[in-house]
Amino acid sequence: MSYIIACYKWVVDEADIRINPDLSIDTKKSKGKISDYDKNAIEAAVQAANILGGKSLGLTFGGPETRLSLKDALSRGPAEGCWISTGEAAKADAAVTAKALAAAIQKISDVSLVFCAEGASDTYARQTAPRIGAILDWPVVTSVSKLDIEGSTLTAVRKLDDCLQTVKVDLPAVVSVLPEINDAPIPGLKAVLAAGKKPVTEIKAEELGIDFSPKTDVTEIKGYLMNRKNIILSEGEAADKVKELAAYLRKEGVL
């Protein structure tokens, strides 16, 4: 039976991130969570597995803290979990991440479809799906808001800036989905309990034989503040105020 894989990322919950007065970022108190849109990718994989008669699998790449993610991910429906475990993940760039995921997908071998979310809720780089597709030399469909599978053909509706594009690809393929693709359900009691019993494979980084050195180094992460100009136009006639406002906006290059 072939695998339908959902790639997901264990990210820092942005609700717990604090920006200090010096704009440095404080994540000391932050907990992890599955990147929000990845929940839709997981649900898409579960649904596709039902249609294709395959097995859904949640795949993640991360450091030791990522172990916590598996129970949560599996309570959302996948039949199996797989975790590429390495501390290297912390400084991985999109290229390394995609290399690791693609290598794991090749290792799992019998894979007919890979789902990613369009972007992760921390970096939203939108690179994972295209890069995995490139490494595997599979078709890639991004920005997918609707999906149909018949036999080994996948029809996807892509949501572009101002139009909808429908494309057809043969499986295997890599698809990145938008959150509107489905309603990711909140797991119920039985699903949560079942998650603890599902098989999880841990792949050690060394087994994949890839180079984890990133080509992009993050040198700094800082918060930013909007610097408001705090100009209030309160004097004079309405018509003059509007004129003045327009002048300011032109000066700022907004108009």
> Which H/E stretch holds residue 84?
strand 80-85
Three-state DSSP at 77 gives: coil
Query: How far is Cα 183 from Cα 40, in angstroms, rounded to an integer?
Result: 7
- Closest residue by Cα to residue 133 from 113, 108, 160: 113
Instruction: CB nearer to another protein: give 71 or 107.
Output: 71
Structure tokens at 59: 């795949």
Question: Measured from the CB of residue 189, what is the shortest distance to another protein in angstroms?
Answer: 4
Instruction: CB nearer to another protein: give 196 or 199.
Output: 196
Q: Considering only residues 23, 24, 31, 165, which one is a binding residue for another protein as defined by CB under 8 A? A: 31
- Closest residue by Cα to residue 61 from 99, 33, 13, 31: 99
Instruction: CB nearer to another protein: give 186 or 231.
Output: 186
Contacts (CB under 8 A) with another protein, residues 182-241: 186-190, 192-193, 196
Instruction: CB nearer to another protein: give 29 or 229.
Output: 29
Q: Tell me the number of residues near another protein by CB under 8 A.
A: 10
Question: Measured from the CB of residue 76, what is the shortest distance to another protein in angstroms?
Answer: 11
In angstroms, the Cα distances linking 68 to 33, 43, 63 are 9, 19, 10
Instruction: CB nearer to another protein: give 164 or 193.
Output: 193
146-165 mask for another protein (x: CB under 8 A)?
--------------------
Contacts (CB under 8 A) with another protein, residues 87-116: none
Question: Measured from the CB of residue 183, what is the shortest distance to another protein in angstroms?
Answer: 15
State the chain's maximal CA–CA distance in angstroms. 76
Question: Measured from the CB of residue 26, what is the shortest distance to another protein in angstroms?
Answer: 10
Task: Please list, residue by residue across 67-94, b when 16 or more beta carbons sit within 10 angstroms of its beta carbon and e when fewer do.
Answer: bebbebbbbbbbbbbbbbbbebbeebbb
Question: Measured from the CB of residue 228, what is the shortest distance to another protein in angstroms?
Answer: 22
Instruction: CB nearer to another protein: give 33 or 131.
Output: 33
Which residues, other chains included, contact 184 with Cβ-Cβ below 8 Å and sequence gap of 6+? 39, 40, 42, 43, 76
Question: Measured from the CB of residue 16, what is the shortest distance to another protein in angstroms?
Answer: 10
Query: How far is Cα 125 from Cα 115, in angstroms, rounded to an integer?
Result: 16
Question: Measured from the CB of residue 197, what is the shortest distance to another protein in angstroms?
Answer: 8
| Binding-site ranges for another protein (CB under 8 A) | 29, 31, 186-190, 192-193, 196
